[in-house]
């Protein structure tokens, strides 16, 4: 039996008098992709942000590395394994190359290792030809691929994507999906939210719908 990478149990989230999430359980596995669908306001983004450690749940537990702890006690250790990407890529004002290399500034790589890693990442993503272009001047689809690549170069175990294909044309979606499939084949666990359940053919392993605060 394949053991999950991380399990979140009993996630609850209350805002004032409203309950957004009700005892949600979700298990993340190496090399598997989960699609989360649901109406606007159903709590998909809130759930992703709790998993990423960006928002505090009212209650939750995490099973990780053989231990079961409260969200508060476990999230510091889990957070470094997870990257969350917003629907609209947050890019710096510099080049594609500088955006991709940004996260590596906080590693112990020397200059040559950093340059080699960035070159490898740009080639991996098919972005070498726009490496010197200003990232914010490129199309939305290319910007999203830059964001994917900036995440990939950090080698997270989990990638959380909030509506990553929104407003992309067909060609851009296909290129983005190709990158996600390659990430998955490399063992990355991926969680995607989308209203369009047919958006990513051949990538999804599990599909859950979030409604009334529960996963079905």
For 15, 18, 49, the CA distances from 74, given in Å and listed in that order, are: 23, 26, 15
**Terminal Cα-to-Cα distance of the chain (whole angstroms):** 23
- Top CATH class, 1-81+157-168+190-216: alpha beta
Mean pLDDT over all residues of the chain? 92
> Is residue 184 predicted with pLDDT exceeding 70?
yes
**pLDDT of 198:** 67
pLDDT of 41 higher than 80 = yes
* pTM for the full predicted model: 0.94
- Looking at the predicted structure, is the pLDDT value of residue 152 above 80? yes
Lowest-pLDDT range of 29-38, 85-94, 125-134, 179-188: 85-94
3-state secondary structure 22-55: EEEEEEECCCCEEEEECCCCCCHHHHHHHHHCCC
Which DSSP string corresponds to 56-121? --SEEEEEETTEEEEHHHHHHHHHTTEEEE-SS----SSBHHHHHHGGGGGS---HHHHHHHHHHH
Would the pLDDT of 13 be above 70? yes
Question: What kind and span of H or E run contains 18?
Answer: strand 18-28
Per-domain residue ranges of the chain: 1-81+157-168+190-216, 88-155
For residue range 60-117, list pLDDT tens digits in order: 999 998 889 999 999 998 898 999 998 888 898 999 999 999 988 878 888 899 999 9
As a whole number of Å, the CA-based R_g of the chain is 17
């Amino acid at each position: 039996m394949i053991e999950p990478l991380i399990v979140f149990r009993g996630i609850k989230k209350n805002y004032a008098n409203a309950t957004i999430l009700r005892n949600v359980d979700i298990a993340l596995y190496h090399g598997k992709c989960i699609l989360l669908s649901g109406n606007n306001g159903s709590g998909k983004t809130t759930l992703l942000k709790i998993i990423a450690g960006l928002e505090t749940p009212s209650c939750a537990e995490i099973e990780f590395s053989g231990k079961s702890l409260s969200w508060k006690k476990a999230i510091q250790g889990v957070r470094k394994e997870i990257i969350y990407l917003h629907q609209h890529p947050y890019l710096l004002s510099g080049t594609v190359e500088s955006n991709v290399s940004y996260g590596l500034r906080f590693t112990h790589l020397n200059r040559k290792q950093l340059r080699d890693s960035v070159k490898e990442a740009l080639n991996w993503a098919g972005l070498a030809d726009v490496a010197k272009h200003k990232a914010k001047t490129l199309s939305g689809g290319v910007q999203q691929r830059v964001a994917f690549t900036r995440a990939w170069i950090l080698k997270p175990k989990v990638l959380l994507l909030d509506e990553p294909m929104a407003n992309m044309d067909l060609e851009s979606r296909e290129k983005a999906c190709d990158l996600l499939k390659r990430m998955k084949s490399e063992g990355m666990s991926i969680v995607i939210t989308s209203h369009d359940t047919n958006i990513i053919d051949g990538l999804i392993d599990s599909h859950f719908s979030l409604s009334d605060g529960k996963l079905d």
